[in-house]
Each structure stands twice: as structure tokens, then as C-alpha cells.
Amino acid sequence: MAEGGVNAALGNVDPEDSWESHFKDTVKGGAWINNQKLVETLTKEAPERILDLEEYGALFDRTPEGKIVQRPFGKQSYRRTCYASDRTGHEFMATLVEEVRRRDIDVMEEIFVTNLLKTNNTVVGAFGIEYKTGDFLVFRAKATVLAAGGTGRIYKTTSNAAQDTGDGYAMGYRAGASLIDMEMFQFHPTGMVFPESACGRLVTEGVRGEGGILTNINNERFMKRYDPRLELAGRDVVARANATEILEGRGTPHGGVYLNISHVDAHIIEDRLKTMLRQFLDTGVDIRKEPMEVAPTAHHLMGGVMVNEEVATDLKGLWAAGEVTGGIQGGNRLGGNALAGTQVFGKIAGENAAKYAQNVEKPSIDLAQVKKEIKHAQSSLERRKGIRPVQVRTKLANLMWDKVGIFRTGKELQEAISEIGRMQMEEIPRLYATGKGTRYNHEWIKTFEVENMVLTAEMMARAALMREETRGAHYRKDLPKTDNKNWFVNIVIKQENGKMMFKKVPVVMTLLKQGA
């Protein structure tokens, strides 16, 4: 759950800040392949959305004048990141849940959606399973918004929650939507390394924002060798620096680097980094006094379902918002931009979907599709033997970490793709759940998740192989240069006649010419 904060050019701390500056930082940070129309919307509307949240009842930390306070985050020209201690995402969720309760919006919890349903090339709802009973549900909808989040769980070491299994990308793909920038996956520079149980757990960028310093085993502030912005360089740069230090033998005993904040006043740590303080105290480390050990962790997929300025997908009846979408963050996301995106584009998606719904008839559902879903769902329950989802997930997560990770090579990507292909052929059809009951059978649900993970992984690995250069978070050891002549483009994926098709499309630019 998001921790460090949310970017909005409110200018509360640095009055010179502006949406234009936020725009520029985002596009530069994104290695120039962001859709600039979307970035414009993001940066212009973020401040209003933060104020919306405050109106709903959110409590952000304050400046002395009583405005929302802002801290520096990586690669940003001004102090722009608003926060509620280091539990900003929780503050968002708590607030939104309260607002949902105020408006008495119907929420159905613990429903797993297996697929979008389509009639005449229009999305008309979705098929799902209720955890509690195992009952099948058909949602018939005039308009559908996809907001299924990310896919960090396809990696062995990740900051992401159990449910971040790429369902949205896979469902979008299967329904025939286009996906963009799927090779652009962000590794957060600082995840916990010890104990094993905590491995990958996020150490928020807020630590570096508040003055945290990275050192290696030789007590060297190694970021000096990598980037003049030191710890507040882009996430890709810091993640690679940390990984390099560790790979080259300058790591800590537990295989990380040191992140130290103990020079900062204890009360500042207690107030602004409370979650981190607790999270490390749990493991016997007092960050007020000692350094943390950290290493990169799989964090965020920049790519995703392609949307236009209306956040409509290229499927009629389907809108999308949040991490499931691609194009906004480009080749690398600035810390604090994801939360901003959820609010800005979530609102647009909701409004446009609602507007559309007012003007169309209730669609009909194609029963053949529903039957197919039921049959598919039942097959893994009926199967008596085969392969358990956890086995596939473990293999996939190791594979992705080793071969589609921070540093990539054509050879390894190729290997990953063939292994994924083998999993698709040999393992996915044999997935089964040990328990045969339908009541809260989460192994059953995981069979769908794993299928989605493997499909998402395939898109990511193949797009990564296709992009023959280094850009943003996508680092090719065999092709370490950025190749603007051939690769200043986005890669778009779409299913055509049952095949995964890739094409290069020009980057959407509005205000900023490349390199400006």
C-alpha cells in the first residue's frame, strides 16, 4: 500500500512550482515516451483531486500556515509530494471508503473477476466468483471501468500485495484491448532484505526525501559515482546503483546496501516515517539509531492497458484507470505520480463511463461466453491431479527475477520467453486446486491469478526483447545505449486472431519536444 506521498503542484512549500514543471519532470523522468496528453491532464488536475480528498475528510500533514505540506521526491524540481506521514495510500483509501459510505455506493467485496464479457465487440460487463460462497456472478453493465492494479507478484521479491497478479492486463488483453509499454517495469531501489520474511517490503522513498543516505560496506556514499542528484536521482538509476554495488561485492552482510536516516532528528522520524520506524523495530533495527539494509524490489508496472485522454480503452464500453493503465508514466514513474494518477484518471473514467451509460441501452449478455467461463472455472476444481498454482507462481517469480529483471539481455529474455511458452502449454492447462469445495477456496482463485500472471509475464518479456535499447527502467546490458533513432516509440500489444501482435507506434507529444 502506497506510503511516501502524492505529487501535486500545489506550490505550498515551493511557490514557484507549477503544473508545467511537474509535466516536464514527469516526461523527463519517463524517458520521453509518456503520452504527453495524459501527462498534461495528470499534472494539471492533480492539485484539484488532492483538494477533493481533503474535502472528503482526508488529513494530510501541514505546513506552518496550515496548508498541505510537501516533501522532495526523486527527480522532481520542487518539493511537490504531499503526504500523511508514511501512510499516504492508507489515508487515500480510508478517505475514499468514507466517501463511498457517505454516498451509499454499493460495494461488493471479495469478488474475483475472471474475465470481461463482450457482445458485438463491446464490453458489457464481467464474470466473477464470490469468495465467500464460490457462486458465479454475471455483471451486466452498460459501462465498465477496469481498475485492477498492478502485477508485482510475478517477481520473487516485491513490495506488492498478494492480489497484484496482473489480472487487469490479462483480462484486457483477452478481451482484445491494446496494451502499451509492457516492457517498462519499475524496481524500487529500497526494499527490505532481512529477515527473509520481510524481504521486498517497501522502504518508502520518503526516507530519502527526508534526507536518507545510501552507503556501501566501505562506508562510501556511492551515489556520487552514479548521479549528481545522489539519493534523489530517478528510481531506475538508484535501483541500478544499489544492484551494482551488491553485485560487485560491496553489499552488506544480508545482501543489501545501507540506508541511513539516523542523523535526522528522532522526532521527525517518529512523526513522518512512523510506519518505517515500526516496520524496522519489528526486525530489531531502530532506524533512529542504526542504518537500514535495503535492496531493489519489484514495484510498479508503468505499462498497461492503453487509454486515450478520455481514459477510454480501444474497446467500446471499457474505461480504465490506475496502475492497470499504461502511457502516463512512460519508461519510468516518478515516486508519488501513481497515487496522483489514480485520482485524476479515476475521476475521468467514472464520469465518462457514467455519461456513456446514460445514453445506451442495457446490453445483452452472450450466454455462450458465460458458459465458457463456468466451464473454465470448474475445470480446475474437477481436476484431481496436476500442478498447484503455488508451484507455477514460484517458478515464474524466480524466472522473471532472474531473466526479466533490473538488468536484461537478449539471450536471457529469449530464455524467459521460451520457458513462459512452455508453462503456457504444459502447466496452465493442468492447474488444479487441492480442495474441491467452493467456499472460500483461495487456491481455486489462485489458479486464475497464476494464469493471468503468466500471460502478463509473456507480454512483458516479449516487449522487453523487442525493445533493442536501454531506456528508463528497461536496461539492456547487451544494448546499454538509448537509441532514439529507432526506439523513440511505444510498443503496443494486441491480440489478433489469437496471436500476440506487437507494433511500434509514435510517441504522443504535445508541449515538449524530445530532449528539450
**Active-site residue set:** 188, 208
Q: Helix (H, G, I), strand (E, B), or coil: what is residue 20?
A: helix
Binding to ligand FAD by CB under 6 A, coded x per residue (else -) over 182-211, reads --------------------x---------
- Which residue, among 201, 465, 149, has the nearest Cα to 325 in the 3D structure? 149
User: Which DSSP string corresponds to 86-152?
Assistant: T-HHHHHHHHHHHHHHHTT-----SEEEEEEEEETTEEEEEEEEETTT--EEEEE-SSEEE-----G
Contact with other proteins (CB under 8 A): which of 224, 439, 477, 504?
439
Residue at grid coordinates 538508484:
238
Q: Which stretch binds ligand FAD (CB under 6 A): 16-24, 109-117, 254-262, 463-471?
A: 109-117
Distance CA 316, CA 480 (A): 40
Give the one entry of other proteins, ligand FAD, none that residue 230 binds, where binding means its C-beta sits below a cut-off of 5 to 8 angstroms depending on kind: none
Contact with other proteins (CB under 8 A): which of 220, 282, 286, 351?
282
Binding to ligand FAD by CB under 6 A, coded x per residue (else -) over 3-42, reads xxxx------------------------------------
Q: Which is nearer to other proteins, 176 or 386 (CB)?
A: 386
Beta carbons of 486 and 184 less than 8 angstroms apart:
no
> If binding means CB under 6 A, how many residues of this protein chain bind ligand FAD?
31
Radius of gyration over alpha carbons of the chain, in Å? 22
- Which residue, among 492, 127, 502, 149, has the nearest Cα to 307 in the 3D structure? 492
- Parallel, antiparallel, or unpaired: how do β-strands 489-496 and 499-506 relate? antiparallel
Q: Which is nearer to other proteins, 110 or 478 (CB)?
A: 110
- Which residue, among 70, 406, 102, has the nearest Cα to 206 in the 3D structure? 70
378 binds other proteins (CB under 8 A): no
Binding to ligand FAD by CB under 6 A, coded x per residue (else -) over 62-101, reads --------------------------xx------------
Q: Which is nearer to other proteins, 94 or 466 (CB)?
A: 94
Give the one entry of other proteins, ligand FAD, none that residue 338 binds, where binding means its C-beta sits below a cut-off of 5 to 8 angstroms depending on kind: ligand FAD
Tell me the helix, strand and coil percentages in the chain, rounded to 5.
Answer: 40, 20, 40
Min separation Cβ 95 and other proteins, Å: 9
Q: Which is nearer to other proteins, 182 or 431 (CB)?
A: 431
Q: Which stretch binds other proteins (CB under 8 A): 257-265, 359-367, 438-446, 454-462?
A: 438-446
Beta carbons of 235 and 188 less than 8 angstroms apart:
yes
C-alpha grid cell, residue 185: 517495469
Beta carbons of 431 and 384 less than 8 angstroms apart:
no
Give the one entry of other proteins, ligand FAD, none that residue 484 binds, where binding means its C-beta sits below a cut-off of 5 to 8 angstroms depending on kind: none
337 binds ligand FAD (CB under 6 A): yes
Contact with other proteins (CB under 8 A): which of 388, 408, 471, 476?
388
Q: Helix (H, G, I), strand (E, B), or coil: what is residue 181?
A: coil
Burial 284-315 (b: 16+ CB within 10 A, else e): ebebbeebbbbbbbbbbbbbbbbbeebbbbeb
Give the one entry of ligand FAD, other proteins, none that residue 148 binds, where binding means its C-beta sits below a cut-off of 5 to 8 angstroms depending on kind: ligand FAD
As to burial, measured by CB atoms within 10 angstroms (0-12 exposed, 13-18 middle, 19+ buried), residue 408 is buried
- Which residue, among 244, 186, 247, has the nearest Cα to 29 in the 3D structure? 186
Q: Which is nearer to other proteins, 203 or 413 (CB)?
A: 203
497 binds other proteins (CB under 8 A): no
14 binds other proteins (CB under 8 A): no
Give the one entry of other proteins, ligand FAD, none that residue 124 binds, where binding means its C-beta sits below a cut-off of 5 to 8 angstroms depending on kind: none
CA 265 to chain centroid: 32
Q: Which stretch binds other proteins (CB under 8 A): 155-163, 214-222, 409-417, 481-489?
A: 155-163
Beta carbons of 9 and 481 less than 8 angstroms apart:
no
Min separation Cβ 396 and other proteins, Å: 14
Contact with ligand FAD (CB under 6 A): which of 84, 141, 148, 307?
148
Q: Which is nearer to ligand FAD, 96 or 509 (CB)?
A: 96
> If binding means CB under 8 A, how many residues of this protein chain bind other proteins?
57
Number of helices (H) and strands (E) in the chain: give both, helices first.
14, 19
Distance CA 409, CA 412 (A): 5
Subset of residues 298 to 327 that bind ligand FAD, contact rule: CB under 6 A: 300, 322-324
Terminal CA-to-CA distance of the chain, rounded, Å?
A: 35
96 binds other proteins (CB under 8 A): no
Distance CA 224, CA 231 (A): 9
Contact with ligand FAD (CB under 6 A): which of 113, 154, 233, 238?
113
45 binds ligand FAD (CB under 6 A): no
Residues that bind ligand FAD (CB under 6 A): 1-6, 88-89, 111-113, 147-150, 159-160, 163-164, 167, 202, 300, 322-324, 335-339, 342
Residues making contact with other proteins (CB under 8 A): 1, 3, 10, 12, 51, 54-57, 59, 61-62, 64-68, 84-85, 87, 89-91, 94, 98-99, 101-102, 132, 161-163, 194-198, 201-202, 274-275, 278-279, 282-283, 388, 390, 433-435, 437-443
